[in-house]
Chains A and B, each alone.
Chain A
Amino acid sequence: MSPELLAAGVALGAVMLYAMFGGADFGGGVWSLLASGPRKDEQRLALERAIGPVWETNHVWLILLVVTLFTVFPAAYAVIFEALYLPLFIALLGIVARGAAFAFRHYGRRDSRLAAQSLRWFSWASLATPFFFGTVIGAVTAGHLEVEGTRVLSGPFEGWLRPFALMCGLIGMLICAFLAAAYMVPRTEGALREDFRRRAIGASLALGAATTLAIPVAAADAGRFAERLDDVRAVGAMALTAVLGLTGLWALWARRYRLAPLLAGATVAGVVATWGLAQHPYLLADALTYEEAAAARATVSAFLVALPIGALILVPSLLLLYLTFSREKLRGEETAH
C-alpha cells in the first residue's frame, strides 16, 4: 500500500468520524427544530445537555479533515474548494451561525431574548449545513466538474445542483437526524426516551429509503460512480451496511437501548465507507486521483509519522472525555454545569 493510499484512507476516516460524531451534533439541532408534543422543551434541553460537553471536540474532526486535505492532497483541496465555493461558503456560514448561536444559548442566560433568538439560528443552521456538505460530496462524486490541471473550468452553479448531489444533501440531513435520535435513546429515560426512540425509527426508515433510491439516481446522473458500485468490494460494503442498518432498526424496535446507537454509528460508517470505496481512485471523480493530487512524498511520509504520535495523545484523552460524560442520564431539566 502506498503512503498516498494510506493518507487517502486517513482522509476517508476523518469524513467517517465527522459524520458519526459531528453528524449527531447537527442532528441535535434538527430535532430541536422539530421538537414537538408535550415534552417539547424537555427534548430540547436534553439535546442541548448531550451536545454541550462534546460539540467542540466533534467539530474538530472537520478541522482534521480539512488540514489533512491541504497537507497531503493540496491540489484536491484547492480544486474542490474553488469549484464548489458556493455550497462550501454557505455551509461555512451555517457553521459559524450554528456554533455561535449554540454558545450564546448554552453559556448565556436562558430566559433572555438572545437565548430564544439563538435557538432559532442554531436549529435552522443545523439543518442547512449538512445539506450543503452533502451536495459537495455528491458533486465531488458525480463527475460533472471540469478542471484542467489545478484550474477550474466549470461555473459556480455546476455540479452541486444536480439530482445526485441534491440526493446526497438529503442523505446528509437524514444521517444527522438518525444518529442524534439513536444516540439519545440510551441517555434518556421514560417518556422522553420513547420520543427519541420513535424519531430514530422514523429517521432510520427514511435513511434506508433515501440510500436505496440514491442508486438509481446515481445510475442516471452519476454514471461512473454507479458503475464502480458494481465492484465486489463496494457490493460487499453495501450489503454489510444494509445488514447493519436493519439490525439497528431491530434493536430500536426491540428496545435494545445500548446496542441501538452502536449499530446506528456503524451503519453511517458503512454508508461513508461504501462511498469511499466506489470513489477510489478518485478524489474528484473523473478529474483528479489521489495520486495526482498528493503532495511530495516527504510531506506525505512526515504526515503519516506525525499521525500515530498525535493519536497517542488523542485517543486516551477522547476516551477520558466520553467516559466522563456519557454515563449520566440526561433529564430535560435545568442544572448548572
Chain B
Amino acid sequence: MGWDTLLSARALMGLSLVFHMFFTPLGIGLPLLLFIVEGLGLKTGDPRYRELARSWTPIVGLLFAVGAVSGTVLSFELGLLWPRFMAYAGGIIGMPFSLEGFAFFTEAIFLALYIYGWNRLSPLAHWLTTIPLVVSSAMSAVFVISANAWMNTPDGFRVVNGEVVDVDPWDAMFNAAWLHQAVHGTLASYVVTGFTVGAVYAWLIWRKVPAVNPKLGLQVAMAMAAVSIPLQIVAGDFAARRVAELQPVKFAAMEGQYGTERGAPLRIGGIPMDGETRFAIEIPRLLSYLGYRDFDAEVLGLNDVPEDERPNELLTHLSFQVMVGGGFALLFLAGWYWVASWRRRREAWLPGRALTWALVAGGFVSFAALQTGWFVTEFGRQPWVVYGYLRTSEGVTEQDGILGFFILFTALYVVISIALVTALLRWPHNGPKREPAARPAGSEVPGVA
C-alpha cells in the first residue's frame, strides 16, 4: 500500500487530533481545578490557595494558546482533507460546531480576564471568572463530541435518491451516541487533569524543586482524580453497553470477537489476528453480560461481517485494552495515594519513592487512556466516516500533495512540542514564588470589579 491521498489525509487528521488532545483535557480540567482552589481560598481565607492558583496562570495561558491553534488546524482540515464529507455532513452536524464556536469565544474572553485580571479584579471577581470558564469549556467538549457521536450514529436526516433531505439539526445533535460519549469524553478531561497535575507535584516534591505550595497542590489534584476516576469507569461501562447495541461491529473489534456466539467470554489482553484472538485471558460468559447484561446474550463476531465493512480489529482491540487497563490502574493509584496519606495523617507526610514513581507514571497513563479511547472510537468506526452512509474513502479530497503537508505539519508539531517541553520544564523556577502584595481591588479599572 503506497502513501496515497487517503492514507496521508487520515494520518494528518489523526496526528492533528492527537496533538489537539494533549491540550484540550487540560483546557477543560484546569478551569475546574482553579475554580476549586480559588474557591477554597475565599472560603478559608488561607492565602496559600490563591498563590497556588496564581502559580498556574502562565501554564494555563500557554496551554490554552497552543490548544487553540491546534483546534484551528482541525477546523481547516475538515475542509482541506475531507471536503466531500463536509459537503455531505456540514449542513447536518454544523449546529454543534457553531455552538462550540460560541463556547470557545466565551472561554477565550474569560480566560483573558482570568490571566490578566490578577491585579485588576477583586479576589471574588477573579474567582467568579472561573465559573464561565468551567461551564464553557465543558460545553465546548460536549458540542464537539456530539459531532463525533453523529459520525457514529447518524441521525436527523434521510437520504432519498442519493440526496440528503428532511434535515433536523437538533435530532442530529442529540443522536443516540451523544449521551454516552459526552459524559465519558468530558469526564476524561477531569481524570487527565487530576492525574497530570498530581504527577507534576509528586515529581517536584520528590526532586525538592522549589515550587509554590506543592503539597497542597498534590492533595487538591489527587482529590479531583479520586472523585473522577470511579465515575469514569462507570461511564465507560455505560459506553460499552451503548456501543454493543448501536455499533455491534465496533464492539466485536474492540473485544477481538470473531465467532458469533452466545455466552461470549471476556478477553483480557490477547492479539486478534487472522481470525483468532491469541494469548488472551478468557473469563467465560462475562462479555455477554457486560455488553447486554445477560450471561447468555448473543455477541456478533467479525466473521459474520463482510470483509470490506470491518475495522482494523488489531488496532481497535489493543487500544481498548490500553484504555481499560489504564482506567483500572488509575483507580488503584488513587486508592493507594489516599490510603497511604490517611494512614499517616501527619503534617510532614510525603509520598515515598514507590508511590512517587507511580504518581508520575499516572500522569502518562491518564493521557494514554484518553488517546487510546479516541483510537477505539475512530478506528472502530472504519471504514465509515459517517457510519453506514459514507465511506472514509468517499469523503476525502481529490487534490494531490497531502503527503507533503503531513510531513510539514509533523515537523511543525515536533518543533512546537520541543519548545513547549522546554518552556514547561522551566516553569517551577520561573513562576512567581510569592504573590506580590495585593493592590486594592479594582482600583485601576473602575466599574469592573
Contacts and interface: CB of A to CB of B under 8 A. Distances in A.
Contacts of A59: 68-69, 72, 108
Nearest to B165: A296
A79 B102 contact: no
A191 B214 CA distance: 45
A71 B432 contact: no
B312 interface: no
Contact of A320 (B66, B83, B113, B412): B113
A54 B112 contact: yes
B49 interface: no
A97 B412 contact: yes
Contacts of B168: 298
A151 B394 CA distance: 12
Interface string B167-178: 111100000000
Nearest to B429: A109
Contact of A314 (B58, B61, B73, B105): B105
Contacts of A325: 112, 116
Interface string B51-64: 00000001101101
A336 B61 CA distance: 14
A66 B86 CA distance: 12
Which of B399, B401, B416, B432 has the most A CB atoms < 10 Å from its CB? B399
Nearest to B119: A337
Contacts of B80: 81-82, 85, 88-89, 92
A77 interface: yes
Given A60-B108, A79-B83, A314-B106, A328 B444 contact: yes
B66 A100 contact: yes
B300 to A, nearest CB: 34
A337 B106 contact: no
B217 to A, nearest CB: 19
Interface string B80-108: 10011011111110110111111011101
Contacts of B397: 82, 85
Contacts of B448: 320, 323-324
Contacts of B164: 296
Interface string B192-226: 00000000000000000000000000000000000
A96 interface: yes
Interface stretch (A28-36, A174-182, A299-307): A299-307
B303 interface: no
A302 B62 contact: no
Interface residues of A, number: 71
B73 A56 contact: no
Contacts of A95: 69, 72-73
Interface stretch (B249-257, B276-284, B377-385, B419-427): B419-427
Contacts of A299: 91-92, 94-95, 167, 169
Given A71-B91, A114-B423, A321-B113, A107 B106 contact: no
Interface centre among B58, B102, B117, B167 (most CB of A within 10 A): B102
Contacts of A254: none
Given A63-B101, A93-B408, A302 B116 contact: no
Contacts of B165: 296
Interface in B368-408: 397-401, 405, 408
A56 B115 CA distance: 12
B109 A109 contact: no
Contacts of A74: 86-91, 94
Given A56-B111, A63-B104, A310 B94 contact: no
Interface string B152-188: 0000000000001101111000000000000000000
Contacts of A64: 101, 105
Given A53-B115, A95-B72, A302-B95, A81 B105 contact: no
B445 interface: yes
B399 A100 contact: no
B87 A92 contact: no
A150 B405 CA distance: 23
B100 A67 contact: yes
B270 interface: no
A108 interface: yes
A292 to B, nearest CB: 12
A327 B444 CA distance: 9
A57 B416 contact: no
A92 B84 CA distance: 20
Contacts of B430: 108-109
Choose among B78, B106, B111, B423 the residue with the greatest number of A CB atoms under 10 Å from its CB: B423
Interface in A86-130: 86, 88-89, 92-93, 95-100, 102-104, 106-109, 112, 114, 118
Top-5 shortest CB links A-B: A71-B94, A295-B91, A74-B90, A81-B79, A99-B69
14 contacts: A53-B112, A70-B79, A70-B97, A74-B86, A77-B86, A81-B80, A82-B80, A85-B80, A96-B69, A298-B167, A303-B98, A314-B102, A321-B109, A324-B113
Interface of B: 58-59, 61-62, 64-66, 68-73, 75-76, 78-80, 83-84, 86-92, 94-95, 97-102, 104-106, 108-113, 115-118, 120, 132, 164-165, 167-170, 397-401, 405, 408-409, 412, 416, 419-420, 422-423, 426, 430, 432, 436, 444-445, 447-448
Given A53-B116, A89-B405, A107-B65, 7 more contacts: A72-B94, A74-B86, A74-B94, A79-B83, A82-B80, A92-B80, A112-B426
